[in-house]
A and B are shown apart, each in its own frame.
Chain A
Amino acid sequence: MGIDIAFWIMAVVGVVAALGVIFLKNVFHTALSLILCLLTVAGIYITLSADFLAGVQILVYVGGISILVILAIMLTREVHRGNLNNKLRIPAFIIVAVFLGIILYAMLNTSWPVTTPPPMEPTTATLADKMLGNNGFILGIEIAGALLLAAVLGAIVLVREK
């Protein structure tokens, strides 16, 4: 019961915050709304008993990416122009509405093979086992490391003074 209430609070706040990203006029307020949306996603992870992911979400998104976004907003001095739309507004709305309708129809009419054993509560040790143990994701982790190194180097090269 408590999970239900938590889910509805997180879902409503998250969707309203995501709409705020689109409809707020000030770009800085948009970034703050994005941070609220990312926080509610962390709450959604907790209702799904994914405790490690909730921590990662707060560390990486709320702690890291939001700082990057706010820093980029401050560096580009475009706040005064506001959060404008381009000419594609109505076609994009139609496309997105059709997409949402199709995907909701497909999701709600599929009989998912839901199983209901009780969820694992501390997932961290199990996650580490699945990732690093036998038949794990070692190659993926190595590639992720290389990707992060390449991304950091690329970001430095891109914003370096000539």
Chain B
Amino acid sequence: MSIGLEHYLVLSAVLFAIGLFGALTKRNALVVLMCIEIMLNSVNIAMVGFSRFITPTELTGQIFAIFIIVVAAAEAAVGLAIVISIFRNRDTVDTTDIDLMKG
């Protein structure tokens, strides 16, 4: 059986689930950011897969993937800056200790 669209979609879903699990359960804020990067990459795989197998001459999926990469780069820069700023102020990056807004 040759590789089709379903293979890429299943790979994308598995990577997204792994990233979601990590983003929900990790205590280090940096690892949470890494898991969000995995999720964004899995979405890109689905986008490019659709672009390759459903509209091979349009390339719209690849253009969307490029925009997702741009937003992910901006998100990583700001997110890591926020984490470093939190570490400066509170001396920890543990998400269970960062509960300033907890009622």
Q: Which residues of A are interface residues toward B (Cβ below 8 A)?
A: 3-4, 7, 11, 14-15, 18-19, 21-22, 27, 30-31, 34, 37-38, 41, 44-45, 47-50, 52-53, 56-57, 60-61, 64-65, 68-69, 71-73, 75-76, 78, 81, 83-86, 88-89, 92-93, 95-97, 99-100, 103-104, 107-108, 112-120, 123, 126-127, 130-131, 137, 140, 144, 147-148, 150-152, 154-156, 158-159
Residues B52 and A48 in contact, CB atoms below 8 Å apart: yes
Contacts of B74 in A (CB 8 A): 147-148, 150-151
Counting contact residues on chain B (CB < 8 A from A), the size range is 35 or more
The majority secondary structure among interface residues of chain A is helix
Nearest CB of chain B from residue A41's CB, rounded to whole Å: 5
Interface members, chain B 25-82 (any A CB < 8 Å): 25-28, 30-31, 33-35, 37-38, 41, 44-45, 48-49, 51-60, 62-63, 65-67, 69-78, 80-82
Query: For residue B87, which residues in chain A have a CB less than 8 angstroms away from its CB?
Result: 75-76, 78
